[in-house]
Structure 1
Amino acid sequence: MSGFLAPVRSRLVETLAGRSDVVPEWILRLEDGDDAGYFGPGSAAWVVHGGMPTLVAGIRALLLQALHLGALAGVREFSRYREDPLGRLAGTIRWIHTVTYGSTGQAIAGSEMVRSLHRRVAGTFVDGHGITRPYSAEDPELARWVHLAFTDAFLTAHERWGGPIPGGADGYVAEWTRAARLMGVDDAPGTAAGLRSAIGAVTEAGDLRGGPEVDEIVRFIRRPPVRRLLRPSYRVLFRAAVSTLEPRHRQLLGFPERPSERLLPLDRATAAVLRGAGGLLGPQTQAELAARRRLSRLSEDRGDA
Structure 2
Amino acid sequence: MSITADAFESAAQPARRWLANSLRDKVAGEDAEANARAIWMVDGERWFNQGDPIWRVHDDASMFVGGIRALLLQSLHPLAMAGVAGHSGYRSDPWGRLQRTSTYLAATTFGTVATAEASIARVRSIHERVRGRAEDGGRYAADDPHLLGWVHVAEADSFLASYRRFGGSRLTPAEEDRYVEQSGSIAVRLGVVDPPTTVAELREALDAYRPELVGSPAALEAARYLLLHPPIGWSERAGYSALAAGAVALLPIWAKEMLRLPVLPITERLVGAPLGDAAVRAIRWALSDPRHPRNTLRKQTT
TM-score (norm 2): 0.88
Q: Tell me what 1:298 maps to.
A: none
- Write the distance in 2 (CA, Å) between the matches of 1:8 and 1:261: 28
Change (3 A) 1:14 1:219: same
Instruction: Quote the RMSD (CA, aligned, Å).
Output: 2.1
**Does residue 155 in structure 1 map to residue 171 in structure 2?**
no
- Give unpaired runs (5+ residues) of structure 2: 1-11
The aligned amino acid for 1:231 is: R
Change (3 A) 1:31 1:52: closer
Q: Tell me what 2:25 maps to.
A: 14
Change (3 A) 1:240 1:31: closer
Change (3 A) 1:183 1:219: same
Shift of 1:35: 2.3
Q: Tell me what 1:198 maps to.
A: 205
**Does residue 41 in structure 1 map to residue 46 in structure 2?**
no
Match of 2:258 among 252, 277, 292: 252
- Write the distance in 2 (CA, Å) between the matches of 1:109 and 1:35: 14
- Write the distance in 2 (CA, Å) between the matches of 1:290 and 1:109: 21
CA contact (8 A) 1:12 1:230 kept: no
Shift of 1:24: 3.1
The aligned amino acid for 1:153 is: S
Number of residues of Structure 1 aligned to a counterpart in Structure 2:
287
- Write the distance in 2 (CA, Å) between the matches of 1:256 and 1:286: 41
Q: Tell me what 1:141 maps to.
A: 146
The aligned amino acid for 1:200 is: D
Aligned to 1:155, the other structure's residue is in SS state helix
Identify the range of structure 1 (96-105 vs 250-259) with the bigger mean alpha-carbon deviation: 250-259
Q: Tell me what 2:9 maps to.
A: none
Match of 2:282 among 276, 284, 290: 276
Shift of 1:32: 4.6
Aligned to 2:134, the other structure's residue is in SS state strand
Q: Tell me what 2:4 maps to.
A: none
- Write the distance in 1 (CA, Å) between the matches of 2:79 and 2:242: 29
Aligned to 2:132, the other structure's residue is in SS state strand
Q: Tell me what 1:233 maps to.
A: 239
1:3-82 alignment, distance < 5 Å:
3-19=14-30, 23-82=32-91
Shift of 1:291: 6.0
Offset from partner CA, 1:203-256 (integer Å, 9 cap, x none): 0xx200012111111111112111322110111111111111111111111112
Offset from partner CA, 1:100-129 (integer Å, 9 cap, x none): 000111111101101111111001125xxx
Identify the range of structure 1 (142-151 vs 175-184) with the bigger mean alpha-carbon deviation: 175-184
- Give unpaired runs (5+ residues) of structure 1: 296-305
Change (3 A) 1:288 1:23: same
